Structure 1
Amino acid sequence: MATVESYETKTGRRYRVRYRTPDRRQTDKRGFTTKRDAERFARTIEVSKDRGEWIDPADTRVTVGELGEWWIASRSSLKPSTLRTVESAWRVHVEPRWGPVPVSDVRFSAVEAWVAELAREKSPTTVKRAHGVLSSILASAVRDRRILANPAEGVSLPRKVAKAHVYLSHVQLHALAAASDRPALVLVLGYTGLRWGEAIGLRVKDVDTARRRIRVERNAVQITGARFEVGTPKSHKQRSVPYPAFLASLVAEQLEGKAEDDLLFPGRTGGFQPRPNLFTGDGGTRSWFTAALERAGLPKMTVHDLRHTAASLAVASGANVKAVQRMLGHASAAMTLDVYADLFDDDLEAVATSLDHAFSQTNVGRTWAECASGE
């Protein structure tokens, strides 16, 4: 049972509360200016122990920054590209604001104000990522019994507006390939839906020319500059992707004179190709992809839009959602439908047409027609 004792200081009488922790350790909290405050604290200690909610005050003093460093270090299971964005969100947005703050001092209202301030300057994606990092760190503090509840939960976040996909036609895709100095790479991306990291990580031995199949087993992610990390594809799932017969000669050209472990689409220096952003970074020079878009007279797009193009061309050719899912390496057909729901609008029209046809062939249909004509 907690007890209250008085003691003298230079500034007058003070009170301390002596109590035992749930693991039977003797401790105390001192500095109360009134006996009433000390007794109130003693009562809360006993109630929290009875409810199993007691938290050691020393544990609450750990800062968000201290927990954050541990949290980042424990994200080893994340894909390199995901880890890079998480580390960036922590370093740029979370740590500067919350690093020095003890976890027990984080308040819902303060998190809400921080999110609102971020939302005025940053995109919804950036805001959600930064909030997610802070919330995950605080969730770890709850599991470690440093705080009772996560003060970042329930904060209203900005709504993310999905970016409209860019879909190229067959003619536009071939025009882009012809305008670039990497026609085989452009067409493979536009007809197979490979992610950029999957495409640049392909080796000669990953291509089965007899079956016109590409085996996707790894993903090369650019971390910084010329540094790449090679891992498994997204969702850690390997897959086999077909390519059309008219690409056979272009793919065969990429294979000529190379050993089995050589890269299928190597960069200028023989290593992995860096992702073609808007500019190369060398004096503001346009990337090869941007330059090809301009020469082909096509709208601005990213190399990832070639993946969307592959999905669009596959659906237009009659592929069902399950086939598109397998080609793209999505975790489920539901995910494919969520991402490319607009590509399956014609299927909805086909459903209505089929129902109408089936209805007209039934007795119900004939009876309804007779009633409508008054016969």
Structure 2
Amino acid sequence: MGSVNAYETSEGKRYRVRYRDPDRKSREKGGFVRKRDAEDYLASITVSTLRGEYVNPQTAKSTIADLGAEWISNQTHLKPSSYRSQESAWRVHVEPMWGARRVGEISHSDVKNWVTKLTPGRSATVVIRAYGVLAAILDVAVMDRRLTTNPARGVKLPRKSKKQRNYLTAAQVELLAAQAGPNTTLVYFMAYTGLRWGEVTGIRLRALDALRRRVFIAENAVAVGSQIIVGTPKTHEARSVPYPKFLSEAIARQCEGKGRDGLLFGDGVRHQPQSNSHGGWFANAVARAQEVDPDFPMITPHDLRHTAASLAISAGANVKAVQRMLGHASAAMTLDTYADLFEDDLNDVSDRMDAARTQSVVGFSWELAASE
């Protein structure tokens, strides 16, 4: 497969390894002081080639900046908001630290130390996202045979703490809606359908089926920077979502003066922007609700989605129905997300089993008595 040859230098005898790579190109590496070292190197090249693990030493010299720029440009499959997050992580955290480094020079310890230094003062989400970008770039390097293994894999990452969810009761929804002014119908709609903000503000009149009280969710309007980008729902799957009968009249009023392509909420032309967390209409409605009810929780518009899940489960909806309403990828995801809401089901199952046994025992006793 190759050969080891001696040659003379000003510093004495040295050894050179010549071999052909898997693409049949001639390669060589010199500078070995001992013949044994040269032979060991040739043996390692032979084994890695036979295993399909050969790495071209020249390609291992590529920098993270070279590979990262190409990786970012290939993330066209991501939704705009996700792409923005990845690009920001690359630009702010990964490129400044790793851009000039050659992929073949990065060790597991290097990545581990970087994650350790990055963690203090930053959320777990920021750290995990930045690490994920670097690890993904190195994954590509492995697939391109620039590396044999990814030195980033196996690094321990900070754990995300579970965010506290606030679930409004039906009475609290009424209170909040009463404080929302012209956005009363929007509050009701979100609290009783579980739609995401981008989904509800992306509804066009043509998506409504008033007879069946259904809305077809096929668009998602997401704010990316100062722009509203319209795309598909989060899971890329369109779905039909029911809304309760009491909303029919209010929705009909929302439709007045708008064409079939008009937006249901807002002026019908421009997508309604999300309320500012400080001083926006939603925050003000919450503040007014808290003046009436001191126990009213501090919530965001997204908590109305959680509220919808809670109200549906309390009403006896099964997990599959809740999954379809919320647009989750699977029922397992719904269970994982709202496991706390299904805890009462355990008691219900136990009570039902107890009732079934009681009925069975009574029947058995009657049969036993009749046979005597």
Rounded Cα–Cα distance in structure 2 between residues aligned with 1:49 and 1:27: 13
Rounded Cα–Cα distance in structure 2 between residues aligned with 1:7 and 1:293: 83
- Aligned counterpart in structure 2 of residue 288 of structure 1, from 270, 277, 281: 281
Q: 1:142: how far off?
A: 0.9
Q: 1:46: how far off?
A: 2.7
2:258 is the alignment partner of 1:245: no
CA contact (8 A) 1:75 1:83 kept: yes
Rounded Cα–Cα distance in structure 2 between residues aligned with 1:90 and 1:270: 35
Q: Comparing 255-264 with 130-139, which one deviates more in the overlay?
A: 130-139
Match of 1:2 in 2: 3
CA contact (8 A) 1:4 1:42 kept: no
Q: 1:352: how far off?
A: 0.3
Q: 1:127: how far off?
A: 1.9
Structure 1 SS opposite 2:195: coil
- Deviation string 1:273-309 (CA, Å, 9 cap, x unpaired) is 2222424xxxxxx222112111111432221111001
Match of 2:272 in 1: 273
Count of aligned residue pairs for this structure pair: 359
2:200 is the alignment partner of 1:196: no
Alignment of 1:205-354 (within 5 A): 205-225=206-226, 227-266=227-266, 270-279=269-278, 286-297=279-290, 298-354=296-352
Match of 1:58 in 2: 58
Letter in 2 for 1:223: V
Match of 1:72 in 2: 72
- Deviation string 1:138-181 (CA, Å, 9 cap, x unpaired) is 11111111100111111112222211211111222122222224
Rounded Cα–Cα distance in structure 2 between residues aligned with 1:321 and 1:43: 59
Match of 2:89 in 1: 89
CA contact (8 A) 2:48 2:54 kept: yes
Q: Comparing 196-205 with 314-323, which one deviates more in the overlay?
A: 314-323
Letter in 2 for 1:221: V
Rounded Cα–Cα distance in structure 1 between residues aligned with 2:217 and 2:50: 56
Letter in 1 for 2:271: F
Rounded Cα–Cα distance in structure 2 between residues aligned with 1:146 and 1:365: 74
Rounded Cα–Cα distance in structure 1 between residues aligned with 2:229 and 2:32: 56
Cα distance change on mapping 1:364 and 1:19 into 2, 3 Å: farther
> What stretches of structure 1 of length at least 5 have no aligned partner?
280-285, 371-375
CA contact (8 A) 1:2 1:46 kept: no
Rounded Cα–Cα distance in structure 1 between residues aligned with 2:363 and 2:333: 37
Structure 2 SS opposite 1:23: coil
CA contact (8 A) 2:4 2:15 kept: no
Match of 2:123 in 1: 123
Structure 1 SS opposite 2:76: coil
Cα distance change on mapping 1:2 and 1:354 into 2, 3 Å: same
Q: 1:4: how far off?
A: 2.4
Q: 1:365: how far off?
A: 9.8
CA contact (8 A) 2:6 2:13 kept: no
- Deviation string 1:89-119 (CA, Å, 9 cap, x unpaired) is 2222222222221111111111111122222
Rounded Cα–Cα distance in structure 1 between residues aligned with 2:272 and 2:29: 61
Alignment of 1:93-172 (within 5 A): 93-172=93-172
Structure 1 SS opposite 2:316: coil
Rounded Cα–Cα distance in structure 2 between residues aligned with 1:361 and 1:247: 43
Percentage of identical aligned residues:
51
Q: 1:199: how far off?
A: 0.9
Letter in 1 for 2:360: T
- Deviation string 1:213-266 (CA, Å, 9 cap, x unpaired) is 1110111111111x1221111211111111111111211111000011111123
Match of 2:293 in 1: none
- Aligned counterpart in structure 1 of residue 357 of structure 2, from 349, 352, 359: 359
Match of 2:44 in 1: 44
Q: 1:350: how far off?
A: 0.8
CA contact (8 A) 2:17 2:28 kept: yes
Letter in 1 for 2:5: V
TM-score, normalised via structure 2 length = 0.90
Structure 2 SS opposite 1:158: coil
Rounded Cα–Cα distance in structure 2 between residues aligned with 1:159 and 1:168: 28
